[in-house]
Structure 1
């Protein structure tokens, strides 16, 4: 079983290969683990550039062994089984993990190198000699549930891992803002300066006030664009922040607890998109949920403005929102400029017999990508 995930950018790419852990069997199996359905990381690769090639790999991991490219060494010495073409030389020591007798799955002792076929496990000196050409070994004992990005990122030994980890941590995903009666955004919360809205929106009022104090006239424009004549305030009582929306014809402002689901979700999206600290990547999953149809056009204008500062990906089932975003025709790709401020690009996913495909994508239009192999 294999689940492979990855991304590539102009600077770095990363992939991770997940499977199910191997359970020891027989008299030496010991007590079985209760976590046999947890994914086990069998392989990770970090490379430079948008496409993984043997010569572009910077850090590689197979099971518990992690290596980083040394300053010397040729591409021919690189084992293709880690990410590119096959290489028999590297496979001599890149063998599958074997459960050590009596070891419990999940412990460091549960995985050992079985060594050459028919022989005993190689001595440490032999292992170092086999891994040495062009590569520096960082560890041989990374556990299956640990990622090299979290455990081995170091500015001196593995600066590439640190760079990729920071890149991924800078991404923001807003998947399911709560707007029900018990949503944290409806309750006054202790506020601190909040340049980045939490993924559940609990610090909405503090995030809106941060935008306003940092010269965010866009906040007032976004509210007026959606709610004609409305004015948004943030109240502070005993250090707790709450929103207050003044609307024409209302004798008093509405607090967060009194806002409709659609109004609250729109304000959450406003706080996310007008962040004073724009991320390199922001993903919005079905932002149209609970919104009144008249709010889709103001939302689209907010998204387009945010796309001037970040790469924004929107997953949507709303044809109205897609049209408001001005999605460019993928058939006219040659005429679409690439970069921030470009027209929105549309990708349509379709299902055929349970398998998901990108509509209109064929052999000649599929992006270049190589998963490599586990061996």
Structure 2
């Protein structure tokens, strides 16, 4: 008997497979196709010839833990204890899975805001808990009244994604204040803040839970080197949590992966000191603006993108077919792969919206736009 009877093949796998089959430009999965910083690959090449290939300590390579604490201090003016409040994980997804398995118990409920990334619900179900899926407003702002009403004594955790995938929205100060009010009324609720796109924001910076003293001591933060340094295949991220929660998270982590790739940890621990994080924002903002400019003559309506490397577009002026069928036809007839937004909703809400990934080199974006302008 299946533990996850309703879980099917990921839409990302489906669209990427179709893209390969039809030789379409793949703007569906969120991975960059341009080269990694040569400074990082040079470090990796040098270290690969050194004695760095055995297990690191379970929580992470000590120098990397220290470097992460410095990074958080520089970015958010928050002081962390690297030994007790930071955990290096095999990607952000493993950090999310581990956190939920460690802190959510049978019979608990977990609030997930739709549209939501597809890795949140499975560990909730495997914990024999119940996901409470609450849709965002049509402008993708949270429905705080509905969230507050849902916060019964059974709610163990609220999951937020900021900057938000798939919509590219960031939470406003008013949103954060509303969240703080809810958490103040419900002291047993833990916040899981997925901030993997924290260094990819544009006109305004996102407001990190790291900066909010009212909630950060009951919050588990999820970050991703894969997203920040466009090294998604390295599968390396980190979790920040107060010591009492981290003790429980580490208990699960040690039996799930024990420790993360040693070479990646050591390379990143050197790279953090020389990378310019402001350049990450500039690169992706330039790509967002370039892609938007290329699509001006298309029939797609582009929604505002405040962060991440995803552009949501409405095709309502083009077709009334459902978004899954439209995305499949986009591949087979026009040679571009995108992701249908309905797949991020528990109820399959179809607002005629699709998601493009613009983390691609300019030639790829230009060719994709040429094809999209013919739709």
TM category (shorter chain) comes to under 0.3
Higher relative contact order (CA 8 A, sep 6+): 2
Larger radius of gyration: 1
Structure with the bigger percentage of strand: 1
Structure with the bigger percentage of helix: 2
Q: What TM-score results when the alignment is normalised by the length of structure 2?
A: 0.20
Q: What TM-score results when the alignment is normalised by the length of structure 1?
A: 0.20
